[in-house]
Every structure is written in C-alpha cells, then in structure tokens.
Amino acid sequence: MSLLLAMTGWHVEDWRSRFKALLPDMPVVTLGEAFDRRAVHYVASWKHPPGSLAGLPNLAVIFSLGAGVDFLFADDRLPEVPIARVVDPDLTTRMSEYIVLHCLMILRQQRRYDRQQRDRLWDDDRDQPAARSVRVGVMGLGELGRDAAHKLQVMGFDVAGWSRSPRAIAGLQSFAGEDGLPDFLARTDILVSLLPLTEDTRGMIDATLLAGLAQDGRLGGPYLINAGRGGLQVEADILAALEAGTLKGATLDVFETEPLPAESPLWSHPAVTVTPHNSAMSEPLAVATLIATQIRRHQAGEPLAHLVDPARRY
C-alpha cells in the first residue's frame, strides 16, 4: 500500500521526506521513478500532469495538496475516487490577513500616500471615510470567505456575503445564487472574490458583473480584490472598466495565465496591485500532517474530512 506524490512546480523530494517522517511504514513513490501502480492506494497531487493518475487499479483517495481542486477536474482522465482537499487554520488565517490588509490599503488610500512619499508631497487629505461607511462584498462564504468576512467586520467594515446556497451567518447580510447577485453587487464598494473555479464561476468577473457594482459609495468608485482563481476573471474587462473609471482599482493575486506574462498591462497599471498567487501559501508541514492524519483515518475505516463534492466540483 503506497502513497504516490504527483506534482509539478514543487520540490517532490521535500514532500517525500515530510511524508516518510509522518508515515514511516508507507512506501512513498513519485511519478519520476518506476513504481508498482497496483500498490498505489493514495495520491497527493498538486497540478499533476493530466492523465498521469490513470491506470492505478487500487487507488482509494486523491488528496489535493491545496485548498483548490480545479486543477484536478481539468484532468479528463481523473480516476473516479473520493477527493479530499486542504482545510487548514493557518492557510485560512493567512488569506484573511491578505483580504483585511488590502481592504485597509484601499480604505486608507495607502497607494496614494506611497506615491506622495516618492514625490516628497505633503497632502494631508482630510476626507478619510470610516470603515463602517464602506460596503465590502465577499463572494464565496466557504472556509476562507467566512473567516475573511468575520475579520473585516471586526475592523468595522459593512460586510455582506454571496454564496451558491443561502447561508445564515450571525451578523452578516447574505445573498445567494444568481437571483441574489444583482442586489449583492449593487451594495458593494469593495468586491472580494474567494470563489472556487468551476464551470459555473469561470469568467464570471466580467464587464457585466463589474458594471453591477455600486457607483455611489464613499470610495468614489468600486474596487475588486480577487484571491480565488484567475479563471474567474476576464482581465480585458477589468482593464476596460479601470480605463472607463467604473472600477477604481483592482488587487489581484491570481491570473488567467500564471505566472503573469511580462507583457501583461496589469503589471504597470497604476490602479492595479499584483501579488504572485501567494495570498495564502499552504504551510507544507501542516498540509503533510493533515494528509497523513487523513490516511490513518481511512486505514482505520473512519470517514475522511474535507471531501469535495464531485457534482459541484469544489
């Protein structure tokens, strides 16, 4: 019974060492070596080469090494076994730090003061909106969205959330589904996207959605923060809305193509903040420990935690 590590872009030997330490009795194999495909019961994957998990007759579970699982469903030869993903308090905390940081950067106009400092300009603008007068809308009220919404409320923002199914969260105005989207957008000054990438959400941050955001808010125009997935956004539409002035700024951690190509106009746009898909890096030992615990549970016949719904694909 072995664990197959299937990843691209990460140091597989570091992951092998972590899993060997946590599961000393379990052989840990990698795609880059010859291994017995019948012995593989578990896979831990991050962006495995499509098709590489086919032909594992005794595979029982695929573990995503991240919170998102869109890369798994992009593989049309993915074995039909249960998929479990990462839900980790450290990752959640890091994401909330990022969301609160960038909402505060917008509220307190920090980019403007950076420019003023560079230009040695003393302009102590007295128009400082209060957090309670700024309406933040969090798209996605899952593990990450709920925590971010709560921490934004602690900072005083007027927060609402939007999800696929109705969510009753104490103190949070919530909207759901396509029917709830227009009202949610119309009361949103800062739109925070923490949605998974699925067939339903792909490309949804487009011209139509951006045009629905509030234009009457205390910030003088709406802002977008996307830390979900780049496939959610249509970058040409974001740039067009920025040029038209219907979007005042965008903070993007994720992109249609990653790494963001050097020629992308997003890099140098004065109203865009770019971060390299690291708003919430998973702490490797925490992830390996979570997966090792799940494997032990599975071997003991206990139910797995954090299972992905194969129909919803998140």
**Which residues are known to be catalytic?**
229, 277
CB of 196 closer than 8 Å to CB of 180: no
Token pair, residue 300, equals 């003991």
Q: Which of residues 270-299 bind ligand OXD (CB under 6 A)?
A: 282
Sign of the torsion formed by the C-alpha atoms of 294, 92, 252 and 277: negative
Q: Which of residues 177-196 bind ligand NDP (CB under 6 A)?
A: 194-196
Question: Applying CB under 6 A, does 174 fall inside the site for ligand NDP?
Answer: no
Q: How far is CA 122 from the centre of its chain?
A: 37
Closest listed residue to residue 141, CA positions, set 207, 92, 190: 92
Question: Applying CB under 6 A, does 150 fall inside the site for ligand NDP?
Answer: no
Edge-to-edge strands of the sheet including 173-176? 173-176, 158-163, 135-139, 190-193, 223-226, 249-252, 272-274
Question: Applying CB under 6 A, does 145 fall inside the site for ligand NDP?
Answer: yes
Closest listed residue to residue 269, CA positions, set 252, 288, 283, 292: 252
The DSSP string of 299-310 is: HTTPPPSSB--T
Q: Which of residues 46-75 bind ligand NDP (CB under 6 A)?
A: 67-68
Measured distance CA(42)–CA(62) in Å, rounded? 6
Token pair, residue 55, equals 């032909």
The residue (of 127 and 309) whose beta carbon lies closer to ligand NDP is 309
Candidate residues 40, 61, 67, 138; the one interacting with ligand OXD per rule CB under 6 A:
67
Question: Applying CB under 6 A, does 180 fall inside the site for ligand OXD?
Answer: no
Candidate residues 81, 277, 284, 304; the one interacting with ligand NDP per rule CB under 6 A:
277
Q: How far is the CB of 70 from ligand OXD (least distance, A)?
A: 8
Identify what 201 binds: ligand OXD, ligand NDP, none; CB under 5 to 8 Å per kind: ligand NDP
Candidate residues 64, 96, 174, 198; the one interacting with ligand NDP per rule CB under 6 A:
198
Q: Kindly list the residues in this chain that would bind ligand OXD in the complex (CB under 6 A).
A: 66-68, 86, 282
Q: Kindly list the residues in this chain that would bind ligand NDP in the complex (CB under 6 A).
A: 67-68, 95, 140-145, 163-165, 167, 194-198, 200-201, 227-229, 253-254, 277, 279-280, 314
